[in-house]
Amino acid sequence: MRKNETQTVHEVFNQLKIEKSSTISNQDFKDHSPLISKKQLWNEFLFEFKNIYGKEFIKCPDSVMNIKVLFLYFLQDMEFFNCEKLRSDLSCPSFKKGLFIIGGFGVGKTAYMKVFEKIFNKHKELRLKGYTAKELVNMYESCATPSDKSYMMSTTVRPRLFIDDINSERIANNYGNCDVVEEILFNQNEKRYTTFVTSNHTNPENSMEESIMDIGVRYGGRIHDRFYEMFNMIDFTGKSNRR
Ligand SMILES: Nc1ncnc2c1ncn2[C@@H]1O[C@H](COP(=O)(O)OP(=O)(O)OP(=O)(O)O)[C@@H](O)[C@H]1O
Ligand SMILES: [Mg+2]
Digits of tens for pLDDT over the chain (243 positions)?
A: 444 444 444 444 455 554 444 555 444 444 434 578 899 999 999 999 999 999 999 999 999 999 999 999 999 999 999 999 999 999 999 999 999 999 999 999 999 999 999 999 998 889 999 999 999 999 999 999 999 999 999 999 999 999 999 999 999 998 888 999 999 999 999 999 999 999 999 999 999 999 999 999 999 999 999 999 999 999 999 999 997
Q: Does the CB atom of residue 241 touch ligand 1 within 6 A?
A: yes
Dihedral of CA 236/9/118/25: which sign?
A: negative
The rounded Å distance from CA 146 to ligand 2 centre is 31
C-alpha–C-alpha distance, residues 171 and 25, integer Å? 39
Note the pTM of the prediction, 2 decimals. 0.89
C-alpha–C-alpha distance, residues 181 and 148, integer Å? 17
Q: Quick check: 68 and 220 in contact, CB under 8 A?
A: no
Q: Quick check: 73 and 160 in contact, CB under 8 A?
A: no
Count the alpha carbons within 13 Å of 115 in the hemisphere toward its beta carbon: 25
pLDDT for the residue numbered 61: 96
Among 53, 241, 242, 243, residue to substitute to test ligand 1 (most atoms within 8 Å of Cβ) = 241
The rounded Å distance from CA 112 to ligand 1 centre is 8
Which candidate, 135, 125, 100, 130, places its Cα nearest to that of 115? 130
* Domain assignments of the chain as residue spans, ordered by start: 9-236
pLDDT for the residue numbered 4: 45
DSSP assignment, residue 171?
Answer: P
Encoded amino acid at 109, one letter? K
Measuring from atom 9 of ligand 1, which residue has the nearest CA?
108
Q: Give the torsion through C-alpha atoms of 64, 66, 69, 71, to 10 deg.
A: -60
Domain covering 9-236 in this structure, CATH number: 3.40.50.300
